[in-house]
Structure 1
Amino acid sequence: MSTTPLKVLLVDDHAVVRQGLRAYLELQPGIEVCAEADSARQAAEQALRCQPDVALVDLVMPDEDGLQATRRIRSVSPRTRVLVLTSSLGLDDVQPAFDAGASGYQLKEIGGSELLDCLWRVARGERVLHPRLGASAPQPRTRNESPSSAVAALSAREREVLLLMAEGLSNTEIAERLQIGEATVKTHVGNVLGKLGLSDRTQAAVWAWRQGLAR
Structure 2
Amino acid sequence: MTGEPLTLLLVEDDELTRTGLHALLSAQPDLTVVGEAADGAESLPLVERLRPDVVLMDVRMPRMDGIEATRRLRAADDPPKIIVITTFESDDYVYDALRAGADGFLLKRAPVRQIAQAVRLVAAGDTLLFPDAVRGLVRARTIPAGRPRLPVPLTGRETDILRLMASGLSNPQIADHLTVGMETVKTHVSNVLAKLGARNRTQAVIFAYESGIVTPGERALGPP
Verify same fold: TM over 0.5: yes
Structure 2: tracts of 5 or more residues without a match: 150-154
4+ residue runs of structure 1 moved beyond 6 angstroms? 191-194
Specify the SS of the correspondent of 1:55.
strand
8 Å Cα contact 2:56-2:85 kept in structure 1: yes
1:72-151 aligned at under 5 Å gives the runs: 72-76=72-76, 78-130=78-130, 132-138=132-138, 141=147
Q: State the partner residue of 1:213.
A: 220
CA distance, structure 2, for counterparts of residue 183 and residue 25 of structure 1 = 37
Within 1, Cα distance between the matches of 2:113 and 2:135? 21
Q: What's the TM-score, normalizing by structure 1?
A: 0.74
Gaps of 5+ in 1: 144-152
Structure 1 counterpart of 2:183: 182
SS of 1:138's equivalent in the other structure is: helix
Give the whole-Å Cα distance in 2 for the aligned partners of 1:42 and 1:32.
Answer: 19
| Pairwise CA distance, 1:104 | 0.9
Q: Deviations along 1:185-214, whole A, 9 cap, x unmatched? A: 4236747998xxx66433554545821235
Aligned to 1:148: none
Distance in 1 (alpha carbons) for counterparts of 2:37 and 2:185: 42
State the 1:2 CA deviation: 4.7
Instruction: Give the corresponding residue for 1:167.
Output: 168
Deviation of the 1:77 alpha carbon? 5.8
Report if the CA contact (8 A) 1:34-1:52 is conserved.
yes
In the TM superposition, residue 22 of structure 1 has moved relative to its aligned partner by: 0.8
Seen in structure 2, the aligned counterparts of structure 1 residues 63 and 33 have a Cα distance that, compared at 3 Å, is same
The AA in structure 2 aligned to 1:63 is: R
Please report how far the alpha carbon of residue 80 of structure 1 lies from its aligned counterpart in structure 2 after TM superposition: 0.5
Cα RMSD of the aligned pairs, angstroms, is 3.4
Q: Tell me what 1:149 maps to.
A: none
Distance 1:96 1:78 in 2: 21
Provide the secondary structure at the position in 2 that maps to 1:137: helix
TM-score normalised over the length of structure 2:
0.72
Identity of aligned residues (%): 30
Letter of the 1:124 partner, please give it: A
The SS at the match of 2:52 is coil
Q: 1:18 to 1:159 in 2, by over 3 A?
A: same
Whole-angstrom CA distance in 2 between matches of 1:33 and 1:181: 34
User: In the alignment, does 2:8 pair up with 1:8?
Assistant: yes
Q: Secondary structure at the match of 1:17?
A: helix
- Corresponding residue SS for 1:56: strand
Q: 8 Å contact 1:161–1:174 — kept in the other structure?
A: no
